[in-house]
Amino acid sequence: MSLIAGVDEAGRGPLAGAVFAAAVILDPACPISGLDDSKKLSAKKREYLSEQIKLYALSWSIAQASVEEIDSLNILQATLLAMQRAVEGLHLSPTQVLIDGNQLPKKLPYPAKAIVQGDKTVAQISAASILAKVARDDMMDRYAKQYPQFSFQKHKGYGTKQHCLEIEQFGILTIHRKSFNPVRTRLLNQL
């Protein structure tokens, strides 16, 4: 039986928090209806599908690369590292790995192929995109409780006008990516 693992990430663009990746091997005998690019789904639908994926997939794994790894490696390399960790976290060995995007992690121990916009066309990648997005959003919701002066539950760490105003007003947190602007510029201006 061929075991196709789909891989996708969430959180490449935000100014705060880790980048997440997930890998999913779906069970052809238990199809999950409604899978789509996570960005096209409501938060409620993503959460429902995330539970379905965890229940019915043959194997799934969620991994991340930290803010420190993002700042030291760069966001692309940190994303590829999170993807590699997600694949390595699967308890089944895939016969092929399909990764959303146009780049592959270098150290994958399985045959792999990059598929641009794969989260829109490949069910396994859609499932991975949903798991990664839900896990990252959950983390940002926890940060919203930890840092109530920041609206992480709303902007999820992205560089919205609200988030930039919060950085100006309350300063830079340890969870902010120091290599990303406007965080980097603000740090340089403080020197």
Q: What is the DSSP string of 66-118?
A: -HHHHHHH-HHHHHHHHHHHHHHT-SS--SEEEEESS---TT-SS-EEEETTH
Q: pLDDT digit string (tens) for 84-136?
A: 999 999 999 999 999 999 999 998 999 999 999 999 999 999 999 999 999 99
Domain boundaries, the chain: 4-190
Q: Which among 124, 139, 143 is positioned nearest to 61, based on CA atoms?
A: 124
pLDDT of residue 187: 83
From the list 8, 138, 17, the residue with the least C-alpha distance to 66 is: 17
What does the alpha-carbon distance between residue 77 and residue 59 come to, in Å, rounded to a whole number?
25
Distances (CA, A) of 63 to 60, 78, 88, 100, 175: 10, 11, 9, 15, 17
Q: What pLDDT is stored for residue 138 in this prediction?
A: 97
Cis geometry, peptide bond prior to residue 94 (ω within 30 degrees of 0): no
HSE-CB of 16 using CA atoms within 13 angstroms: 29
Q: What is the CATH number of domain 4-190?
A: 3.30.420.10
> At residue 158, what is the residue type?
Y
What are the Cα distances from residue 132, in Å, to 47, 57, 152, 176?
A: 11, 15, 17, 19
Query: pTM, whole model, 2 decimals?
Result: 0.95
> What is residue 191's predicted lDDT score, i.e. its pLDDT?
63
Q: Which residues, 6+ apart, have CB-to-CB distance to 129 below 8 Å?
A: 8, 9, 10, 22, 37, 38, 39, 100, 119
190 has pLDDT over 80:
no
| Residue 71 CA to its chain's centroid (Å) | 16
